Amino acid sequence: MKKLAKFLVLTLLAGILLLGPAAEVCAGFDVTYLVTKNEGEKANDEDRAAAYAYLVDHMNTLKKLYDLSPEGCKRMNEVFYQANVFIADNDMTVGQLVTYVNEVETNLTQAAQSNVKGAEKFLFITNNTAIPTASYGQSVNVGFSVVNLGMALMQDVLITPVVDTDVSKWPFDITTAEDVRKVFRLEPVRDPAKEAEFAQPVSWNFRVSKDALTGTYPIKFHAKYYRDGEIEETDLITYIDINGAPGSGHLNEGSTPDGKTSTPRIIVTGFTTDPGEVYAGDTFMLTITVQNTASSTAVSNIQFDLKAAKEGTGDSAVEAFLPTSGSATIFVKQIPAGGTADLSIEMTARSDLTQKPYVVELDAAYEDEKNNPYTASTSVSIPIKQKARVDTGDAEILPASIEVGGSSNIMFPIYNKGKTTLYNVSVEFEADSITGGSTFLGKLDPGATGNVDATVTGISETMDDGTVMAKISYEDESGNVTVIEKELILYVMMSNYEDGMIDYGDWDGDMMEEPKKFPWAILIGGIAAIVVAGVVVAVILSRKKKKKALQQELDSLDDDDNDFEE
């Protein structure tokens, strides 16, 4: 079962293992397309083979559409390998197979788009690099400073001269097999005004060949470095003016030792933008300075075409910058030998650009004094910035009123609605009545949310409307600090407790009174008093009764005595 599909898997793996990178699927295959059958039919080995062929064809199309890096091909191959094994080892209907192939097709496209050799370059030679001059047989120091115009740290930057045995391309004696220079760390330049502080110098000492021609040589160096965990590569070009031996010929015009005519060169010596910092959506003036490096030949009828890096993929890809005049072509009548010209064009940056450098390619077509046609191509990189957009959600304060010495919890979200990363996001709370609550959230990526969860303590009674100001600060890619404020309401009251005793002098009646106990002691005491009083009254009445009876008896005796005397 599935022998054909498994055979295809094993064949592919064997080719990759035996031949290495040359056997990658990105190299191309002859294919047939997936056959159309009833969706409910069970997929057979022939259908699996057709699915395999369809995916290979799609990968070849992506290879032609995108300028894939080696890492891009590797990731596409990984997606393809997993898909091929899944197709070989799982029973499915034709409909299920087609659905799965469509999913893999999407995954392959995403892998390709995320690994395109971007038009943006991050490692550059500084604009103020001097062009040295040397004569044949002399030693000369060739050096320049490199800067990181990206947003991430570069590490282990290795820079090697690109040596050539052709004296018209490499005017120095070859003395070593490799002459590499290493820069261990290259911090990103976030503020163009501080470029010099972040630049790292490198230099080489070369001896000019006795066969070197007179003229200005472009000297190429190859750089490789780590950035964001990936290896990236680029070429760096600087220049040197060489005075060759008498009769050796001129590099830029005239005849070389082999009788061929050399090319007068036009190079970019620098560029500026107005304003100096360009934000996405801005209209700016780009001025590029070019130089004719020929020492005795003028160039004329020069047509410069500017082409910005494209954003997007396929037919939807559009240039990052568009000229406001509608034309990106500049015509210069003539540049004399050794002369310069400024090329100015007004452009608008797309509003949806991400914050990074974007390359503008400059292609030149021109003629020498004998109307011989030439072309040249170079580029400049324009850093684009995005304005930060920060918002906050509703705050939750529990409790909303506290006593002096008490605490309250304040919670609210912070939203990064922009396309630039926020750094060192922190929150401070300010009011005369509270202290504490400082919160550090750190880095906040575009579209991310940071949640503030702070505790503040009351230190004095609120004497105003209870406003507490939350001050939210953050840094942009250039290290500029921005502070926004958010108003909160929190009341702090004086405590009614002092030394563990209750002071009823400030009783406001809001609290429920504690239930009173029934006065049993008073009741019992009253009853006892009544009983005692009753006893006393009874005794008194008894005594009065006895006294009255005695008096009556005495009165009776007196009456009897009176009767006897009569």
pLDDT of residue 327: 83
What are the tens digits of pLDDT across the range 298-323?
A: 899 999 999 887 776 666 778 888 89
186 and 63 part of one domain: no
Give the pLDDT of residue 520.
Answer: 56
Among the residue ranges 35-49, 240-254, 402-416, 550-564, the one predicted with the least confidence is: 550-564
- Among the listed residues 424, 543, 429, the one whose alpha carbon sits nearest the alpha carbon of residue 479: 424
| 207 lies in some domain | yes
Taking the CA atoms of 258, 263, 269 and 275 in sequence, report the sign of the dihedral they define.
negative
Checking if the pLDDT of 492 tops 70, the result is yes
Q: How many domains does the chain have?
A: 4
79 torsion bin: left (phi>0), alpha (psi -120 to 50), beta (else): alpha
Structure confidence at residue 531 (pLDDT): 52
321 found inside a domain: yes
242 DSSP assignment = E
Tell me: do 405 and 494 sit in the same domain: yes
Which pLDDT band holds residue 51 (cuts at 50, 70, 90)? confident
Least confidently predicted of 13-22, 145-154, 366-375: 13-22
Q: How many CB atoms lie within 10 A of CB 47?
A: 21
- Each residue of 520-552: b (16+ CB within 10 Å) or e? eeeeeeeeeeeeeeeeeeeeeeeeeeeeeeeee
DSSP assignment, residue 315?
A: G
pLDDT of residue 325: 84
Task: Give a yes or no: residue 546 inside a domain.
Answer: no
SS3 84: helix
Point out the domain boundary residue: 63, 87, 113.
113
**Same domain for 193 and 137:** yes
Q: Among 321-335, 338-352, 414-428, 496-510, where is mean pLDDT lowest?
A: 496-510
Q: Is the pLDDT of residue 488 over 90?
A: yes
Bridge partners for 488 per DSSP: 468
Q: pLDDT band for 522, please (50, 70, 90 cuts).
A: low
User: CA 399, CA 410: separation in Å to the nearest integer?
Assistant: 9
In a domain, 237, yes or no: yes
Phi, psi of 460 (to 5 degrees): -160, 160
Inside any domain, residue 203:
yes
Tens digits of residue pLDDT in 327-341:
889 999 999 988 899
Q: pLDDT by residue (tens digit) across 133-186?
A: 999 989 999 999 998 887 788 999 999 999 988 888 899 998 776 789 999 999
* Euclidean distance between CA atoms 68 and 76, whole angstroms: 10
Predicted local confidence at residue 529, as pLDDT = 55
- pLDDT for position 258: 45
Residue 556 lies in a domain: no
Rounded Cα–Cα distance for residues 59 and 53 (Å): 10
User: Residue 518: what pLDDT?
Assistant: 53
Domain co-membership, 242 together with 129: yes
Whether residue 399 has a cis bond before it, omega within 30° of 0 = yes
Instruction: Name the least confident of 35-44, 110-119, 555-564.
Output: 555-564
CA distance 290 to 299: 12
Domain containing 497 — which CATH number?
A: 2.60.40.10
Amino acid 114: pLDDT: 59
Bridge partner list, 364: 304, 376
**CB-count burial class (<10 Å; 0-12, 13-18, 19+) for 216:** buried
What's 381's domain CATH number? 2.60.40.3880
Angstrom CA distances, 19 to 14, 29, 137, stand at 8, 15, 46
pLDDT for the residue 429: 95
Range 106-129 average pLDDT: 68
| Alpha helices (H) in 20-176, listed in sequence order | 45-65, 70-89, 94-113
Q: For residue 384, what pLDDT is reported?
A: 86
- Residues whose CB falls within 8 Å of the CB of residue 283, separated by 6 or more in sequence, listed in order: 324, 346, 347, 348, 349
Q: Which residues pair with 281 in a beta bridge?
A: none
The arithmetic mean of pLDDT across residues 412-425, rounded, is 90
Percent of the chain with pLDDT over 90: 28
* Secondary structure of 431-492 as H, E, C letters: CCCEEECCEEEEEECCCCEEEEEEEEEECCCCCCCCEEEEEEEEECCCCCEEEEEEEEECEE
Please give the C-alpha separations between residue 48 and each of 55, 181, 442, in angstroms, as whole numbers: 11, 52, 50
- Distance of alpha carbon 61 from alpha carbon 279, whole angstroms: 35
Exposure of 500 by Cβ count < 10 A (0-12 exposed, 13-18 middle, 19+ buried)?
A: exposed
Domain boundary among 337, 364, 386: 386
131 and 242 fall within a common domain: yes
**Distance of alpha carbon 561 from alpha carbon 45, whole angstroms:** 161
The length of the chain is 566
Residues 237 and 107 in one domain: no
104 and 126 part of one domain? no
Give the range of the structural domain holding residue 436, as residue numbers without chain letter. Answer: 390-506
Do 218 and 190 share a structural domain?
A: yes
Mean pLDDT, residues 546-550 taken together? 57
Question: How does residue 497 score in pLDDT terms, banded at 50, 70 and 90?
Answer: low
Helix (H, G, I), strand (E, B) or coil at 331: strand
> 483 and 361, same structural domain?
no
Among residues of the chain, what percentage have pLDDT more than 70?
74
> Domain check: are 320 and 200 in the same one?
no
- Range from 6-20, 353-367, 442-456, 466-480 carrying the lowest mean pLDDT: 6-20
Final residue before a domain boundary, out of 480, 506, 532: 506
Q: Do residue 400 and residue 379 come from a single domain?
A: no
* Dihedrals phi, psi of 166, to nearest 5 degrees: -80, 115
What pLDDT was estimated at residue 3? 45
Tokens 């059958």 locate to: 37
Which of the two residues, 48 and 176, has the higher pLDDT score? 48
User: Is residue 365 in some structural domain?
Assistant: yes
Position 85 in a domain: yes
Phi, psi for 303 (deg, rounded to 5): -115, 120
Residue 455's pLDDT band (cuts 50, 70, 90): very high
- pLDDT band for 60, please (50, 70, 90 cuts): confident
- Residue 83 and residue 10 share a domain: yes
Mean pLDDT of 211-230: 88
Between 94-113 and 45-65, two packed helices, what is the crossing angle to 10 degrees? 20
CA–CA separation, 384 and 357 (whole Å): 6
Q: Which of the residue ranges 203-217, 282-296, 412-426, 498-512 would you say has the lowest mean pLDDT?
A: 498-512
Please report where in the chains the tokens 């034709």 appear, as a residue: 94
Give tens-digit pLDDT for 246-274.
777 777 554 444 444 456 788 888 889 99
3-state secondary structure 5-48: HHHHHHHHHHHHHHHHHHHCHHHCCCCCCCCCCCCCCECCHHHH
